[in-house]
Amino acid sequence: MPISYDRARELAQRLRRGLSLEVLKDRLASRDPEVHPTPPRVPGQGEWSAEARATRLAFLEQRAGELPQLGGRGEPVDAAGLKGNIENFIGMTQIPTGVIGPLRINGLHASGDYYVPLATSEGALVASFDRGARLLTSAGGVATLVTTEQVQRAPGFVFTSIAEAALFAAWSVEQFERCREVASTATKHGQLVDMQTHIEANHVYLIFAYYTGDAAGQNMVTFCTAAVCADILERTPIKPVTWFLEANMSGDKKATALSFITTRGRNATAEVRLPAALVERRLHTTPERMAQYWRMSFIGGVQSGSIGVSGHISNGIAALFLATGQDVACVSEASVGITRMEVEADGSLYAAVSLPNLIVGTVGGGTKLPTAAECLRILDCVGNDRASRLAEICAAVALAGELSIVGALCAGDFARAHAMLGRGKSAK
């Protein structure tokens, strides 16, 4: 994630948040379960009865308050209240929602033991992520960190010649402060933080990057960029033949190499160190075998042309997005990441996940929908000053899933687990 000197300095100041380096390091340190006892597992493991469901709901309601929509006791959804979320409304699509945890997170924004709701119709997914969550918690928790935060919109301008395009680009870079002022008139919560120019023959792309507060931000950056472009078109001495508000260079809802190295949304990372004995006891394999698998998997990903290399990050991100009312189409970019597993000198397993494109929000969009609001409440991620917490939870969940699936592949349990949980049958 290369960034400029000015952005790096701003990032360092924000990361510390007034904390000393010693306090920051302690914040991300593991918490020994024997010293800091973990809360109980989700009750009714492996049970599908109505009684087990009621027990799990009661367990969560003790911590998060009433959950009538998830429990099926809520009032019918008012169609008028969905204006802005859906057109031609006919009803609600139901997706089963499970819960994993406790998942201990030692992050800059997320700190504590979390029970995480995941919405999916894929059998074995919740069980796998739950196994990974318990593994991370047994190791003292997962360290998480959000660094860069920015969402882009990339308008394109067409000129009659390369010369005109170059002159326009040169003029544009001198207008950044003016663009920042104009953008601020279109939002109360966002801020234009960067602008890049790209010339392709007689085309010019301006890539505007915004800080979007606790909103996912796609609409915000659209409105801001529309205002900026209107001002540019009025003042530029080099008039374009035509222009487009989005010229497909922002990375919106697609996996791109540019977003992978520059960040779109929130850049979140998670890491853990697992003692060899814990890997052997919980995953029935060894750190050496898991690192060997990671090397082969990484080479396979490179050969296939993957942007980022991971096991199944998209499974966890999609399930968490569905549960919490995020824009599910953004899974195409949010699930791009890197998983890394290495054996350390003492024989422990170092594992990490980096997710540079997490488009998440805790205000606006689908976060106000009935079940989404309840799931966000379970995570203590409702409202302002919570989006970075949600991003760190996403990274922790992704790492839990990566460890679990790699462990299953290394131990030879992958097919058997899917036969038992994915088909509801006993494996032969």
Residue 122 falls in the annotated catalytic set: yes
Cα distances from 282 to residues 43, 133, 234, 316, 403, in angstroms, run: 19, 11, 64, 20, 11
In sequence order, which residues have a C-beta less than 8 Å from that of residue 96 and are 6 or more positions away? 119, 120, 121
* Cα(238)–Cα(159) distance, integer angstroms: 9
* Cα(327)–Cα(334) distance, integer angstroms: 10
Q: Is 20 helix (H, G, I), strand (E, B) or coil?
A: coil
Residue 400 forms beta bridges with which residues?
Answer: none
In sequence order, which residues have a C-beta less than 8 Å from that of residue 315 and are 6 or more positions away? 120, 122, 125, 129, 401
What value, to the nearest 5°, has the Cα angle with vertex 423 and ends 418 and 424? 105
Helices 287-303 and 276-283 sit at what angle, rounded to 10 degrees? 80
Residue 418 falls in the annotated catalytic set: yes
The catalytic residue among 122, 231, 246, 342 is 122
Element (H, E) at 342: strand 338-343
Q: Do residues 266 and 391 touch, judged by C-beta distance below 8 A? A: yes
* Cα(198)–Cα(248) distance, integer angstroms: 12
The catalytic residue among 194, 214, 392, 418 is 418
Cα distances from 157 to residues 200, 241, 302, in angstroms, run: 10, 8, 35
The catalytic residue among 61, 327, 342, 380 is 327
Q: What is the DSSP letter of 309?
A: B
* Cα(370)–Cα(56) distance, integer angstroms: 19
Residue 327 falls in the annotated catalytic set: yes
Q: Is 376 helix (H, G, I), strand (E, B) or coil?
A: helix
Q: Which residues are catalytic?
A: 122, 327, 418
